[in-house]
Amino acid sequence: MIEPDLPLLSVRNLKVHFPVRGSEGGVVKAVDDISFDIPSGRTVALVGESGCGKSTTAYAIIGLEPVSSGSIRFEGREIAHLDRQARRALATEIQIVFQDPSAALNPKMTIGDSIGEPLIIQGWRRDKRMQRVRELLDLVGLPAAYAERTPNALSGGQRQRVVIARALALSPKLLVLDEPVSALDVSIRSQILNLLMELQKELGLSYLFISHDLSVVRHLADDVIVMYLGTVVEEGGAEALFEAPRHPYTQALISAIPLPDPRTQRSRERIILKGDLPSPLNPPTGCPFVGRCPIRIEPCSSIRPSLQPVPSGTRAACLVRAPAPLAA
C-alpha cells in the first residue's frame, strides 16, 4: 500500500559518473549528488545551461543512463538498477517525451502504428489497440483520421501531439518532458504547453520538465530546480524563485528572460556571466560556480556550499547569499 504523503518520485544523492577512456583516465561527473522529490500531480522543472546535467538526470530516472550511486524511488519502490523485464513493466508508470518529434517518430510508420507501439509491446489485442489510438488522438486534439497518415504529412506541432499521445498510451503517472517545445516554432509552443497543462489537470499527471528556457518554465512549473555543473545550486517553488532568486547563477538566468514591455526590457539590468561552464571532468574544488561568480569571496574556492533555506522561501547553495548556520 502506498503511503498518502509519499512523493511519486524521490531522488536521493544521485550520481551519474562516466569513466574517461584513454591514457589520462578520469571521471566525468555529469550528475553529482543531487536530491529532489516530485509530488503527485505537480510539475517539477530542472533548468540550467547545456551541460549542467539536467537531461542526464532525466535519462537516469527512466533507465537510459546508468546510475553510479544514489537512490531513485517511484511510489516507494527502488528503480535505480532494474533489469530489462522490470524496466519494461515500469514503462506503464513512467514515459518520456523527447525534444525533437521528427526524430522520435519512424517516418515509415503510420501515426496509428507509432501511437500503438507501446501497446503492442505490452500485448494488447489489435481491436483494443486501435480503439485506444483513437481515444489518444482525440485526447491530444487530433482527428481520428490522422491514424492513417505518416509523420511527414503533419506539422511540427502535430507531430509533438502524436509523441505526447504515444507517451500517454499506457496511462503513466509521470511524464518526463525533455525540452518538449524547444524544437517548435514560437507560435506553436504555447499551444503545446497549454495542452500539457490541460492533460495534467484531466489525467492527474506529474511532470519532470527539462528546459533551458525559463520563460517556458515560469509558465508551467510548480517547483524549480536550478542545476549547474551536475549539482543543484537553488531550488524552491516557482513563484518564490522567480520573484526573489538568491543564487547569482539563478539571478543571471532570470535576468536573460525577455520582458513583454520594450521600455522595461531596455532599462533592466542584464547579468552577463563571464567565462564558460567548467569541465565536469575537472570541476572546481569548492563552489562549482566560483570561476564565473560576480560575488565570490575567498572561501568559495575551497568550501563547497550546501543548500540552505533563505528568507524568500527557496534553498540556495551559496556561501555569500545563503551561509550555513554556525555550529553551536
SS3 at position 280: coil
Question: pLDDT of 241-291, one tens digit each?
Answer: 999 999 999 999 999 887 665 565 555 677 778 877 788 888 899 999 999
What pLDDT is stored for residue 224 in this prediction? Answer: 98
pLDDT band at residue 2 under the 50/70/90 scheme: very low
What pLDDT is stored for residue 256 in this prediction? Answer: 87
Long-range contacts of 153-159 (CB under 8 A, 24+ apart): 154/111, 155/188, 156/101, 156/102, 156/183, 156/184, 156/185, 156/188, 157/184, 157/185, 157/188, 157/191, 157/192, 159/101, 159/102, 159/104, 159/105
What is the average pLDDT value for the chain, to the nearest integer? 91
Question: pLDDT of 42-61, one tens digit each?
Answer: 999 999 999 999 999 999 99
Phi, psi of 242 (to 5 degrees): -75, -30
Question: Is 80 exceeded by the pLDDT of residue 5?
Answer: no
Question: Is 70 exceeded by the pLDDT of residue 232?
Answer: yes
Predicted TM-score (pTM) of this structure: 0.92
Question: Is 60 exceeded by the pLDDT of residue 122?
Answer: yes
* Fold assignment, 9-93+172-316: Rossmann fold (3.40.50)
Distance CA 123, CA 60 (A): 26
Instruction: Report how far apart, in Å, the C-alpha atoms of 198 and of each of 48, 192, 288, 320 are.
Output: 26, 10, 38, 41
| Alpha carbon 134 to its chain's center | 29
Residue 4, all three cell numbers: 498518502
What pLDDT is stored for residue 271 in this prediction? Answer: 79
DSSP code of residue 305? -
Averaged pLDDT for residues 206-218:
94
What pLDDT is stored for residue 261 in this prediction? Answer: 57
Distance CA 143, CA 98 (A): 23
Return the ∠ at Cα 276 (arms to 270 and 277), rounded to 5°.
Answer: 105
Question: pLDDT of 70-87, one tens digit each?
Answer: 999 999 999 999 999 999
Strand order in the sheet with 77-78: 27-38, 9-19, 69-74, 77-78
Which amino acid makes up residue 43? T
pLDDT over 90 percentage in the chain: 76
Distance CA 191, CA 213 (A): 16
Strands of the chain, DSSP E: 9-19, 27-38, 43-47, 69-74, 77-78, 94-97, 174-178, 206-211, 223-228, 231-237, 308-309, 315-316
Which amino acid makes up residue 252? A
What pLDDT is stored for residue 4 in this prediction? Answer: 55
- Containing 164, the helix (H) or strand (E) segment is helix 156-167
Averaged pLDDT for residues 96-125:
92
Residue position matching grid coordinates 555569500: 320
Phi, psi of 112 (to 5 degrees): -60, -40
Residue 54, all three cell numbers: 539536467
What pLDDT is stored for residue 262 in this prediction? Answer: 58
Q: Which of 96, 315, 324 is nearest to 226 (CA)?
A: 315
What pLDDT is stored for residue 328 in this prediction? Answer: 43
Long-range contacts of 50-55 (CB under 8 A, 24+ apart): 50/212, 50/277, 51/229, 51/277, 51/280, 52/227, 52/228, 52/229, 52/230, 52/277, 53/16, 53/227, 53/229, 53/230, 53/231, 53/280, 54/210, 54/227, 55/178, 55/179, 55/210
Question: Is 60 exceeded by the pLDDT of residue 327?
Answer: no
Bin 236: left if φ > 0, else alpha if -120 < ψ < 50, else beta: left
Distance CA 154, CA 170 (A): 23
Contacts of 112 (CB under 8 A, 6+ apart): 130, 133, 147, 148
What pLDDT is stored for residue 1 in this prediction? Answer: 39
pLDDT band at residue 35 under the 50/70/90 scheme: very high
